[in-house]
Chains A and B, each alone.
Chain A
Amino acid sequence: MQEQDLSKNNFEQCIKCTICTAYCPVVQVNPSYPGPKQAGPDGERFRLRNPFFYDENLKYCMNCKRCENACPSGVRIADIIHTARMNYSHSKPTLRDWILANTDFMGKVARPVAPIVNAVVGTKPAKAAMDAVLGVDRHRTFPKYRFSGFEGWLRRKAPDQSKFARQVAFFHGCSTEYQHPEVGRAFVRVMNALGYGVQLIDEQCCGVAMISNGLWNQARSHARHNVEAFRKTDLPIVTTASTCTFTMRDEYQEILGVDVSVVRDRIVLVEKFIYSLLDQGRVRLAFREDFKARVAYHIPCHMEKLGWSIFTRELLGMIPGLELTVLDSGCCGMAGTYGFKKENYAYSQEIGRPLFERIKLLDPDYVTSECDTCKWQIEMSTGVEVRNPILLLEEALDLEKTAELNR
C-alpha cells in the first residue's frame, strides 16, 4: 500500500474517525491527555508547521499501542506521539526518571546488597522518602532484587549447553537477570528438553524504559549495541518478555531510527518459537499427568501489538489439567515505569481496575502473562500470583519424557 503513497507522512492516512480514541485506556481516566488522535496525527500537522504546538501532556501516552491495533487506516499513532516527544519536548528526564529507566544499571548496583535494598525499599519511611524526594509513588511494591542472577546460574549450575545439537541465543532481559531468574532457568530446562542448547549473548537492556522516560540517546546506544550483538550470530534470538521483544523488533526502527532489518525476523518470543517448531513437526511435547491448575491469561498490550497471544493460548491449551480463561483484553495500567510515577499512580490503578475486578472474581490459582511489569501490577493490585507462561510450561511438561522424544 505504502508504495502508492506520495507522502512519507503516515499521519496523512488518518481520516479523523476517532476510533483510536474509543480504545485508548488513558483518555478514559486522565482528562489532561489529549487522546491519540489529537496527540498523534492531528497534532502532528500543527507541530510540523510550528513546534510551538507541541503539548507536554503527550507524556501521558503509555505506548500501549491499542490505538494502532484499532486504526482502520494503518496510522502509526503511538509512533507519531513518541517521535514528537523525542523531537519537541522541552522537559528533561528527572533523577527519578533516570533511575527508573536504567533497569540494568540499578540491578547491578543493587545486587551485591540485595537483601538490604529489598528490606529498605519495602519500609514505610523509605517509601515515603522516595515518594516525597523522587516522585515514586508510595503505594508501589518494588520487585525484589536477587543476590545471584540468571547468567551466573547458567554458567555454574546448568548442564553443558554446547552438547546440544541445536542452539538458540537467549535474550533474557533485565528482570530475568535481576529479579526473576527462575524464568530464565525454566526457559533453559524447557529448551534443553526440546533438544536445544541455550547461549548467552552480549546483551544490554532493550531500552524500553529509556524510550518512555525520554533518554533517547542512551536508548539508541543500547539499540545499536544489541543489534550489533545479534548480527554476530546466526542463531534465533529467543526471549521470554513480550515488551523487550516488541521494542527490539519495532521500536528500534520506528522510534529510534536504528536499522534492525537484518536481525528482526530472528527475534522471537519463546511461545511463538516453540509453537512454530511444533507446527512444523520438528519437536514433540510430553506432559505430566498430575498437573492441575486454574489459570487466567492476561494478554499484555505489547503482546496484542505483536499479535502473538494466539501462540501462548494454543500452547497452554495443549496442557492437560490446565483450565484456561483468557481475560478480556485490557491494559493493566502499569506500562513499565509509568505506574511507578506519583503523577500517574491513580490513573494507572483506574485503568487496570476492570482487569483486577475480573481476576478477583475468577480467583484463579495463577494469572499468566508474558510481561513482568504487568506481573508486578497485577500481583500488587489483586494478590494473585502471576507467572510467566514458560514457568507453567516447565511445570506441566514431563521434561525427561520430552527430552527422550526430541533426542
Chain B
Amino acid sequence: MRYDTIIVGGGLAGLVCGLRLQQSGKKTAIVSAGQNAMHFSSGAFGLLSRLEDGTPVDEPLTAIDRLSGEHPYSKIGSERMSVLVREVKPFFEAAGIPLTGDESRNSYIITPTGNYKKVWLALDDMTLLGGSDSKIGDKILIVNFKGYLDFNTAFIAEGLEKRGMKCRIESVELPEMERLRSNSTEMRSVNIARVLDGGDAWKHFVASVNRMITDEDTVILPAVFGFADGSLIRSIREGVRVKTVFIGTMPPSVPGIRSQMRLKKAYELSGGTILLGDQANSPVFDGDRLVSLGTVNMEEVRLEADNFVIATGSFFSRGLWATPEKVLEPLLGLDVISSESRDGWYDEDFFSPQGYIGFGVRTDNGFHPMRGGRPMENVFAIGSLLGGCNSVKMGCGAGVAIMTALEVANTISSSR
C-alpha cells in the first residue's frame, strides 16, 4: 500500500504534520497505537518558558538564539521560527480549534493546583493572565460538582488568596449528576462533560451558580464543559452573571480531548487515513533509506512511501524504551541522546529537572534521525521523540511538537 508520506504516531505532532501535508496535496496515512498526550492537556501550549540554564523567558522568539545547538528550535533557526509561530493560530483555527494568546509573549495560566504557570497560547476555554501575580478578580467564587475529586478547590483557593484574592468555595448538586455519583470512580471529567452536553443540565447548573453568587465578581469552574461541542463554553460564560474563568482539571482533559477529536476530524476530512489501534513494525531499509514498514494488523500488506515521519512520542507512548542498561528507539533502532551512566537518568529529588525527559532521538539539522551515526535520507523525527531538550523544565513540549511538525511538513512538501 503506497502513500506519499507515512506518519507513525497520532499525537499532536503526527496530526499537525499529517494535516499540513494533506493541505499541500500529499497522500498520507497515520499509524496510531492508542490515544495520546492531548488527552492530558492542560488546555495550553508552551513554546519556551525557560532556557537550558533555567533563565526565565518572556518573549520566546527573542530567546531562540540563546538555546544550545541540539534544541529543535535551534535547528529550525530563529528566522524560520518567527514565520512558523505566526502560522499556528490560523492553522488551529481552521481545524476548529480557536486559540487565545499573544504569539510574541508568554502568558500565565492557573493550574489545577492553584499555581500560575507560564504558557504561550491556550485553547479559548482557558483564561490567560498577563503576569505571575495577576488577579482574575477581587472576590472569587470557586464552584465544583459535588463528589468530583479531580478539581481541588482548596488548592486553587490557597493559590489565589496568596495573590490577594478572596475566595469562597461552593459545590453544586445536580439531579442529572446523581446517577454518576452512585459510582464514585466514574465521577470523572469526561462523564460529567457528557451529562452537561446533553439536555438542560447545563442550564440548571448555571442557575445554581447564579443563586450562589453573593458579592463575588468572578466565578471559577472546572473545565469540564463542551466535550463534543465547544459552544457550551460560550453559553456558560453568557449565562453566569459575573466573569467566568475555567481552570483545568486532573486528567482526562475535556478541552484536550475535544481538540484532539477536532484535529483528527480535520485530518480525515482533508483525505488523510488513520490506522487507529495499530502498531508499526518490521522496517525494511535500503542503505540510509527506509523502504517500507509493516503493522501488526496489516500483516503481509506493507506500507510504502517516499517519506516517513516518526512521531511516536517519548517513554509513555513507547516511542522510547528503557532497559536497565540503556535507552533505545524500538521501531527503527535510531541513535538516542542519553546519558551513559544511569545516575544521569534521574534526580532523586522529584521536583528537580529529570535527565530522562531530555533523552530522545538524535537528528541532523533537517530532523533526519541518525541511525548508526548516519542521517536517514527519507525519514524525519518530530515531537517529543526528539532529544536535546528537557521539555518539562523548559516548557517547550507542545511547541516542539507543533514547530517540528510544521517545519518537517514544509520540507517534505517543498521537495521534488
Contacts and interface: CB of A to CB of B under 8 A. Distances in A.
Interface string A323-354: 00010110000000000000000000000000
A308 interface: yes
Contacts, number: 97
B317 interface: yes
Nearest to A69: B277
Nearest to A275: B301
A306 B35 CA distance: 17
A70 B190 contact: no
A35 B182 CA distance: 13
B191 A21 contact: yes
Given A1-B318, A69-B276, A19 B301 contact: no
B273 to A, nearest CB: 6
Contact of A307 (B191, B265, B278, B321): B278
A73 interface: yes
A73 B34 contact: yes
Nearest to B304: A279
Interface stretch (A26-34, A81-89, A160-168): A26-34
Contacts of A314: 1
B190 A21 contact: yes
Contacts of B298: 307-308, 310
B257 A22 contact: yes
Q: How large is the interface on B (under 10, 10 to 19, 20 to 34, 35 or more residues)?
A: 35 or more
A308 B39 contact: no
A19 B35 contact: yes
Interface string B295-306: 111111110000
Contacts of B297: 306-308
Contacts of B251: 17-18
A35 B185 contact: yes
What is the interface residue range for chain A against chain B?
35 or more
B57 interface: no
Contact of B252 (A17, A74, A307): A17
A31 B317 contact: no
Nearest to B190: A22
The prevalent SS among residues of A at the interface is: helix
Nearest to A328: B265
A60 to B, nearest CB: 12
Nearest to B188: A18
A272 B268 CA distance: 21
Contacts of B318: 1
Contact of B182 (A21, A31, A71, A72): A31
A69 B251 CA distance: 19
Interface string B392-412: 000000000000000000000
Contact of B34 (A27, A69, A275, A305): A69
Contacts of B36: 72
B3 to A, nearest CB: 11
A265 interface: yes
B76 to A, nearest CB: 28
B337 interface: no
B186 interface: yes
B275 interface: yes
B34 A72 contact: yes
B194 interface: yes
A227 to B, nearest CB: 19
A7 interface: no
Given A17-B251, A18-B251, A72-B316, A307 B183 contact: no
Interface in A56-102: 68-74
Most buried by B among A1, A69, A74, A328: A69
A257 to B, nearest CB: 21
B179 A31 contact: yes
A313 to B, nearest CB: 8
B92 interface: no
Contacts of B321: 1
Contact of A305 (B39, B273, B277): B277
Interface string B18-51: 0000000000010001111001100000000000
A28 B190 CA distance: 9
Given A18-B251, A18-B252, A69-B276, A34 B185 contact: yes
A19 B277 contact: no
Given A31-B182, A70-B34, A310 B275 contact: yes
Contacts of A329: 276
Contacts of A73: 34
Nearest to B228: A354
24 contacts: A1-B318, A17-B39, A21-B186, A21-B188, A21-B191, A22-B252, A22-B257, A31-B180, A34-B185, A35-B191, A38-B183, A69-B276, A69-B277, A70-B35, A70-B277, A71-B35, A272-B301, A279-B1, A279-B302, A305-B277, A307-B278, A307-B297, A310-B1, A329-B276
